[in-house]
Structure 1
């Protein structure tokens, strides 16, 4: 069978998420080192967004045919909630993604040094704004991402462009969301840097963690369900009925 084993798929999720965090999140302290204590300019925010978008494009084409390149628990849970991914594989994927984010965060410190942690390690956090505003920002950013993922993997989607489209939507979504919450739009990207920053003795606003993760997971499920609602045709319903009938027959 031309299908990768589970350990291979988990390794791909681990590496893909590690690459995402090292390149994307790592661009934040890297630019901060170059600027000192000066706040980021609009063009520098663009460079950070481009770093995230570029690494997503790369990982889609490198790992997509192995594991699907979810590299984001919001994507994994959304796919499972809509019947496109088995729930039994969800815990393994989520674990691999979070561990990959932790590894990517340690890699940032290994390359940039302890100063990266002193500069915040790119940990996503929001300032003096209402919780609902932070929740809304992460919800909308994640919704855009997951909705796009569902669009490019649809059976009618043009083949070959998934990586580019997803990378560009990540780039675009970060621009308006980053000034509010840092634009994590990924529970693994939220969690990994927070864990490592805590281990390195840095200050982490853990009370904000549920706001990020709940918003991101809820947005993923909402995006998947809404896309299914507006895209499903009679052919899709027939295929689903046949698949369920076949499962009942086997049982």
Structure 2
């Protein structure tokens, strides 16, 4: 597999993953969207289909890792060369940012309508860290379109949740979803992984929103911080390390467990 294959496959595949996954979050969240308030089932199945689409697009090119946790797990397991890891991770981050940007373009009018709606703004808490709380702008609830956040902010629990969920994901990929080369998802593996992502979302997604993918959270969070969205609120950088570190640890643990238990 060449460097250009890795770059093209991971960039395009991850961009489609985030476009469709972030798109379902936007559809459920934003005012003037036909899917507003469709609920958690729509989000979990939307993300599952997003994984399926991205994996099918990239599977024959780069192995469709689409996730640094998967790349790390495969490197620990031995299916991916450690020298290829930086290229995989960089391509995935770029793709995630492209996908998040495309979500903004697709839902541009809905973002504007949502973030300028007096009813929406009145329901939001004042931005943290601002001295004059009487005149401080209120934050719009759109960070969740781009990135995850915990329902109960407890760093230890939040980190453990992301580690556990990612171990389940990466073990599932390693045991059922490897292609003939052993370095990524095959056709059947893409379907199994998509269903696994739905299951993880339904079962383990409640506490943190189940990032289970560092670039799925970090790339769109960077885009959120840069986009000219009125009343968008902060990007919650104080929490941003959890959905990056947790899945990376989970991926490494899954690779080690696979070598111990399944080889």
Change (3 A) 1:32 1:164: same
1:209 is matched with which residue?
Answer: 240
How far residue 174 of structure 1 moved from its aligned partner, in angstroms, is 1.0
Q: Which stretches of structure 1, 4 residues or longer, exceed 6 Å deviation after superposition?
A: none
How far residue 150 of structure 1 moved from its aligned partner, in angstroms, is 0.3
* Pairing 1:26–2:53 present: no
In 2, are the aligned partners of 1:99 and 1:192 still within 8 Å (CA)?
yes
* Pairing 1:177–2:208 present: no
1:206 partner SS: coil
Partners of 2:90 and 2:109 in 1: CA distance: 26
* Pairing 1:146–2:160 present: no
1:248 is matched with which residue?
Answer: none
Partners of 1:189 and 1:200 in 2: CA distance: 17
1:74 is matched with which residue?
Answer: 69
* Pairing 1:125–2:125 present: no
In 2, are the aligned partners of 1:26 and 1:122 still within 8 Å (CA)?
no
1:189 pairs, out of 197, 208, 216, with 216
2:252 is matched with which residue?
Answer: 221
| Higher helix residue share | 1
Instruction: Name stretches of at least 5 consecutive residues in structure 2 with no aligned partner.
Output: 116-141
- Superposition TM-score, scaled by structure 2 size: 0.78
1:100 is matched with which residue?
Answer: 95
1:179 partner SS: coil
CA RMSD of aligned residues (A): 2.4
| Count of matched residue pairs | 224
Partners of 1:114 and 1:199 in 2: CA distance: 18
- Superposition TM-score, scaled by structure 1 size: 0.82
Deviations 1:121-148 (A, max 9, x none): 3321124431111112111111111010
In 1, are the aligned partners of 2:32 and 2:110 still within 8 Å (CA)?
no
